[in-house]
Structure 1
Amino acid sequence: MRLPLEGVTVVAVEQAVAAPLATRQLADLGARVIKVERRDGGDLSRGYDHVVDGTGAHFVWLNRGKESVAVDLKTAEGRDIVRRLVDSADVFVQNLAPGAAKRLGLGTDELRSNHPELITVDLSGFGTGGPHEQRKAYDMLIQAEAGLISITGTPETAVKTGIPTADIASGLYCAQAVLAALLRRWRFGEGASIEVSMLEATVEWLGHALYTQMFTESAPPRMGLGHTSIAPYDAFPTRDGEVLIGVQNDRGWRSLVRDVLDAPELADDPRFVTNVDRVAHRAACDAAVASHTRRWATDDLITSLEAAGVPAAQVKQMSDVVSHPQLRARGRWREVATEHSVVPALLPPATFSDVEAAMGAVPALGEHTRTVLQGLGLRDQQIDELVKHEIVTSDPRLPALTSS
């Protein structure tokens, strides 16, 4: 069977996390993604670190299955190469600094004027217009501006999330919008101009916290591992560690105290009968649960909670996740090639029953410059001239071909 996006070509002038995550999802679904990078070092994330056998962890995560073309967009010849690529593409994605794409002649209006069926995506920190349009927009800054940091952490300390949440949110919405636009084009023949703001994507993820602020005029407190609206919902001590327990309804509460903790008197305690009651008396509720859980060994408590259908877990370390038995049992690990080695990679979360995600190799900088330019009709001698004049870079491991 065929992958859903086979035959779709995406050109991406992208860097860092948000846009590369979006286009990697499209590549996994079968699209041809041509990644346009700077000649001097390429995508910023190539240099964040070199922990994956010499390749950056972010870059390996975000760029498998793409073709890398290294071009100097400050030159007229470089810009012409990208415009020619876009002329034969279905989708163009960019997350350059605000206004940069337009200054390079790669603005949405210009690209679509001669290619109305083209789908363009401008992914930026704050969107077009407004007082923050020109602000720099790294993930941490967006988490701060969106209010996410203010509600994340403990009562004493606000923290950012341990993953680039703003980047991931906007990358997911970008990919979703491209898929919707492709569906509309196939049905009605219409292209699309799409804009995705990291700020707006992150604020959307605030969900209940935003509504709590609007309708109570009070922000949800930082709860650490707890939950503002549910109790008991936290880490509870055991003899040899701790267990996270999350009881989301009153039936679950009764199962916890009667079937697991052997404390039936708590089920009918007027302070704890309903979730609203338990939240109102959270400290007493948590203390009562902890007085019983601390008598258990962690593994025994997890087993008993699972048997009773009470949601529970242990905090896994990264080393535990790498060998997680559920991922192993479901066969979720594959291997992808990088310029230095073959490394493990997880299958995308959405599984098609009849076809597996493409999961191609992670490209070296400029690895596909020559083949992509050949596809535009350039002869090897012309490509060699572009390399000589530092307009493009071809991966040095690939020998330059010359022809008369």
Structure 2
Amino acid sequence: MYNLLSGLSIIEASSFVASPTAGLYCAQMGAEVIRVDHKAGGLDYDRYMLTSEGRSLSWENLNRAKKSVALDLRSGEGRELLVELAAKTGNLITNLPEKSFLSHEAVKAKQPDGAPNLVSVRIMGWHDGRQAMDFTVNAASGYPLMCGPEEWDMDTAPPVNQVLPAWDFITGAYCAFAMLAALRHRDQTGEGSELRVPLGDVAIGTMANSGAMAEMLYRGGDRERLGNAIWGALGRDFKSRDGKRFMVAALTEKQWNGLIEAFDVGEEIAALEKEVGANFADGDRPRFEHRHRLFDLFQNAAEREDFDALAIRLSAAGTTFERYRTMHEASTDPVLIDENPLFGPSPANPSQFEYPATRSFANIPGRDAGTPAPAPYLGQHTEEVLAERLGLSSGSIGELVDRDIARLSDKNSN
């Protein structure tokens, strides 16, 4: 964990993926992120998959390096404590509805003199207030109907959902950026900001930013399915003689020349160029337009060798390729995990399960990334935060615990 954001405190009231991701990225850069949940855990506290002790591995990894406060958020008193924490801290990340008890205006109204003007980042569903989640906005984006085998009919074939909740993670990353942008603005002007980030807008906006929306409007229709091929360039999966599947991409002149060298198909490429009247060295367009003939050519070459021998030549020629792995294989791969400085030793996870943990994705030369921090136990920092942030005495906190308005660590609850 780097300390680029040391001194910054953020209250996070969230669940599921996007909002916790925003807090996670800030925490991994050194911010003090205090996640406040309902006393029994938020909606994602027991998100599948659970260990035999009932601990969510998803929750554990999305909440590393954070502090945890557990309050009765179904009671007025518990909600007031959360509002007061956000008001005094001045920085809030949440996916609670904008008209909830934790609205920007409600928190702003409770800010004491001397508190920094409130910056709140709120993740919404759609811009018009409709609910949404990753897989529903993905359905609206059109991407699932672009996925699948090339021979599938566009009008009758089913959609293919992506497994990764990509819009959630992109939204979380964008919200971390939006929070820091608003904080910079406050540092310069003293003004607070309310930022609402609809998940649906992130999906549709990303589609537009990629040029895909302009493409569809220019076409006056939809793009064809491409299977595992890369749109607009040469790239696809191939199968070696020993049955190993691998992905190859050739987007640059170096990658294209390396591919010809590694597959030893220079004569075949020259003959195909003469036949179709194209020069494949001219760039993506001729290679993409004649991709089917090129795919057949490279697949025939791939079938002549086992993958390990072919991989040596692909590496030596400077190509861009990777063998397909199962996720379990990826999780145990020494190059991807053991030798990767992204991963550090297992901290003391609430699940008690030991496994490599991520540091910040950013690698800063000359700075120690530190060891990965664990996720907190639910309520682990309730007493500390209520005392330090709200100035409550131990007696007052004890009384809140006795009345079940606040809860302490659930370390021994399983």
Fold agreement, TM-score > 0.5: yes
Q: Give the match's secondary structure for 2:186.
A: helix
Partner of 2:24: 24
Partner of 1:61: 61
Query: What is the correspondence of 1:154-193 to structure 2 with a 5 Å cutoff?
Result: 154-155=149-150, 156=152, 157-193=158-194
Shift of 1:366: 1.5
Equivalent residue in structure 2 for 1:306, among 315, 322, 339: 315
Shift of 1:183: 2.0
Sort the Cα spacing of 1:258 and 1:329 in 2 relative to 1 into closer, same or farther, 3 A. closer
Equivalent residue in structure 2 for 1:385, among 384, 396, 399: 399
Equivalent residue in structure 1 for 2:347, among 332, 336, 341: 336
Taking the aligned partners of 1:250 and 1:372, their CA distance within structure 2 comes to: 57
Equivalent residue in structure 2 for 1:373, among 386, 400, 410: 386
Shift of 1:190: 2.4
Shift of 1:226: 0.7
* Per-residue deviation, residues 303-344 of structure 1 (Å, max 9, x unmatched): 111211222211122233223314433433222222232542
Q: Give the match's secondary structure for 2:163.
A: coil
8 Å Cα contact 1:42-1:365 kept in structure 2:
no
Equivalent residue in structure 2 for 1:246, among 240, 246, 249: 249
Taking the aligned partners of 1:84 and 1:314, their CA distance within structure 2 comes to: 52
Amino acid in the other structure paired with 2:299 = A
8 Å Cα contact 1:254-1:267 kept in structure 2:
no
Query: Quick check: 259-268 or 118-127, which moved more?
Result: 259-268
Sort the Cα spacing of 1:358 and 1:3 in 2 relative to 1 into closer, same or farther, 3 A. farther
Over the aligned positions, Cα root-mean-square deviation in angstroms equals 2.5
Query: Quick check: 239-248 or 60-69, which moved more?
Result: 239-248
Equivalent residue in structure 2 for 1:321, among 330, 352, 356: 330
* Runs of 5+ consecutive residues of structure 2 not aligned to the other structure: 153-157
Partner of 2:197: 196
Amino acid in the other structure paired with 2:44 = L
Taking the aligned partners of 1:314 and 1:152, their CA distance within structure 2 comes to: 20
Shift of 1:265: 3.7
Amino acid in the other structure paired with 2:4 = P
8 Å Cα contact 1:125-1:199 kept in structure 2:
yes
Structure 1 outlier segments of 4+, above 6 Å: none
Amino acid in the other structure paired with 1:336 = P
* Per-residue deviation, residues 96-129 of structure 1 (Å, max 9, x unmatched): 2x34xx331x2112323445622101111113xx
* Runs of 5+ consecutive residues of structure 1 not aligned to the other structure: 399-404
Query: Quick check: 23-32 or 74-83, which moved more?
Result: 74-83
* Per-residue deviation, residues 273-330 of structure 1 (Å, max 9, x unmatched): 2332332232222112212111011111111112112222111222332233144334
Query: What is the correspondence of 1:355-374 to structure 2 with a 5 Å cutoff?
Result: 355-356=368-369, 359-374=372-387
Number of paired residues? Answer: 389
Note if 1:230 corresponds to 2:243: no
Question: Percent identity between the aligned chains?
Answer: 26
Partner of 1:261: 264
Amino acid in the other structure paired with 2:121 = V
Shift of 1:259: 5.4
Taking the aligned partners of 2:201 and 2:53, their CA distance within structure 1 comes to: 36
8 Å Cα contact 1:119-1:192 kept in structure 2:
yes
Query: Quick check: 27-36 or 144-153, which moved more?
Result: 144-153
Taking the aligned partners of 1:397 and 1:62, their CA distance within structure 2 comes to: 18
Query: Quick check: 171-180 or 139-148, which moved more?
Result: 139-148
Shift of 1:357: 5.6
* Per-residue deviation, residues 217-265 of structure 1 (Å, max 9, x unmatched): 232333232112112x111221112332212245543443355324424
Q: Give the match's secondary structure for 1:267.
A: helix
Q: Give the match's secondary structure for 1:336.
A: coil
Partner of 1:402: none
Q: Give the match's secondary structure for 1:46.
A: coil
